[in-house]
Structure 1
Amino acid sequence: SLKVGQKDQTLPIAPKPTGGSSVTGGELLFLALATCFCNDIYREGAKRGFTVTSVEVEVDGDFEAERMPASNIVYRVKVNADAGEEEIHELVMYVDSIAEIQNTLRLGTPVKLEI
């Protein structure tokens, strides 16, 4: 279960037969990047007065060894909307600059463990 503020949400992920999760943390990290961008594109497009009709996001990166952070993270997007190519490009660039997950990673935000 995931709790953000007052919102509780369950994201069902099947376990592996050998224990643990069938999805890696790296896959979820990349999914977070894609989901954040996707949600922000729809929201910010509406603020600009046009309708986003589809968004495709592909995230690539490397996890080269255990205990090492990801490297070479790149995401590619394709956005369709009832706007001109230049307006869509400006929207994409703007959303890239404000996306919370992207900025969290870019800023190297510390993560603390509490027991």
Structure 2
Amino acid sequence: MADPSPYGVRAGAGTLRSGEGVALPHAWTDAGVLAAPASNGGQVLHLAVALCVLNDTYREAARLGVPLAGVAVTADGGFDDAWRSTGIHYGVELDTSGDPDQVARLHEVVDEVAEIPRALRAGADVRRSAP
């Protein structure tokens, strides 16, 4: 991945859980997930992608029979002068003893099914509602 911008984030669990960040409970791991940083809206948007991909990696690995000891997902991107996203890219690091073909299939499946990336790719209308 390219050098991180001020909006770059990381979410990790299992053996790839880092020592710092916001601790979040996680259905797939006993110790939960550490996500960081989360100090501005761009980072929170990117964390939504990273956390979704991390969660779906665990879910799909269990379904496909790919053993996982740890997962870390980085996500980053930029914004133009009107604060429109210029795109989000993510990377996945796995601690696995799985067969390389199984692992490649896992990455493909997660990229297809991860809900937050899918929603962002499709576009979303965001509006303020009345209280």
Using structure 1 for the length normalisation, give the TM-score.
0.74
Runs of at least 4 residues of structure 1 off by over 2 A? Answer: none
Cα offset for 1:56? 1.7
Q: Which runs of 5+ in 2 are unaligned?
A: 1-21, 24-37
Q: Is the 8 Å Cα contact of residues 66 and 102 (structure 2) preserved in structure 1?
A: no
Q: Is the 8 Å Cα contact of residues 66 and 103 (structure 2) preserved in structure 1?
A: no
Task: Give the counterpart letter for 2:45 in structure 1.
Answer: L
**1:85 counterpart (84, 96, 100):** 100
Aligned CA-pair RMSD: 1.9
Supply the distance in 2 between the matched residues of 1:59 and 1:50 (Cα, whole angstroms): 23
**In the TM superposition, what are the counterparts of 1:40-55 in structure 2 within 5 Å?**
40-55=56-71
More helix by share: 1
Larger Rg: 1
Deviations 1:4-38 (A, max 9, x none): xxxxxxx89xxxxxxxxx72111000011000000
**2:109 counterpart (94, 97, 102):** 94
**1:60 counterpart (76, 82, 90):** 76
Secondary structure in 2 aligned to 1:60?
strand
Cα offset for 1:113? 1.6
Number of equivalences: 95
Secondary structure in 1 aligned to 2:69?
strand
Cα offset for 1:72? 3.3
1:108 paired to 2:99: no
Using structure 2 for the length normalisation, give the TM-score.
0.65
